[in-house]
């Protein structure tokens, strides 16, 4: 059975995620409305600006619809701002910023610094032989992980890729590389659901 992966398309690098998923042979849909969300089996929440994305999720009416699907077990992959939106706690979020609490982690926004402090580095991925070249842009930092969260990769001591059930998050941008292995890991979650 063919599965459709939605890519939240309110802001951020959603087209880059679609390109990677299509190269893997996955059908994608840009999700901007609740009707779009009904068409998908899984969702990618891209990077962008987390407070803006939180606001757009509210004003578009998508927040509650996504929240309901997450509670039903829909697989979701959040990168950078997507990680922030999925976290249980955003330590330095604005008072009007909402997150889904879909993964038991606490995050700090832009913890690695401003845009000028962005960097690239190789990280070891759990279960994979070769390192992954990761792109960090104003990346969030995980400050706490719950006991049911599996760490899939670290940069130095920091958790940068993690999973809890059908929720996967990365503090970096795997869609900005030519390496589709992390997206493949996410697609593997669809087999489990």
* 3-state DSSP percent of the chain in helix, strand and coil, to 5: 30, 30, 40
- The bridge status of strand 132-136 relative to strand 119-123 is antiparallel
Annotated catalytic, 55?
no
Q: Which of 17, 80, 155, 183 is catalytic?
A: 80
Q: Is 28 helix (H, G, I), strand (E, B) or coil?
A: strand
Question: Which residues 6+ apart lie within 8 Å of 167 measured at CB?
Answer: 70, 75, 76, 78, 86, 102, 103
Q: Which of 17, 155, 175, 183 is catalytic?
A: 175
Q: What is the rounded distance in angstroms from the CA atom of residue 65 to the CA atom of residue 8? A: 12
Q: What is the rounded distance in angstroms from the CA atom of residue 113 to the CA atom of residue 116? A: 8
Angstrom CA distances, 183 to 82, 129, 188, stand at 14, 16, 9
Helix (H) or strand (E) holding 67: helix 62-71
Annotated catalytic, 175?
yes
Q: Which of 17, 55, 155, 173 is catalytic?
A: 173
Annotated catalytic, 173?
yes
Active site residues: 80, 173, 175
């Amino acid at each position: 059975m063919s599965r459709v992966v939605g890519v939240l398309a309110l802001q951020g690098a959603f087209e880059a995620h679609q390109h990677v998923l299509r190269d893997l042979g996955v059908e994608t849909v840009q999700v901007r409305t609740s009707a779009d969300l009904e068409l998908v089996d899984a969702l990618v929440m891209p990077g962008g600006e987390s407070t803006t994305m939180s606001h757009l999720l509210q004003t578009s009416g998508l927040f509650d619809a996504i929240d309901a699907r997450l509670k039903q077990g829909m697989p979701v992959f959040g990168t950078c701002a997507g990680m922030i939106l999925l976290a249980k706690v955003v330590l330095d979020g604005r008072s009007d910023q909402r997150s889904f609490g879909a993964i038991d982690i606490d995050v700090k926004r832009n913890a690695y610094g401003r845009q000028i402090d962005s960097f690239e580095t190789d990280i070891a991925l759990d279960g994979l032989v070769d390192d992954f070249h990761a792109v960090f842009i104003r990346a969030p930092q995980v400050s706490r992980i719950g006991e049911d969260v599996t760490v899939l990769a670290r940069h130095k001591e920091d958790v940068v890729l993690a999973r809890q059930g059908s929720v996967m998050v990365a503090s970096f941008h795997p869609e900005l590389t030519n390496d589709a292995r992390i997206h493949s890991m996410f697609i593997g979650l669809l087999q489990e659901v």
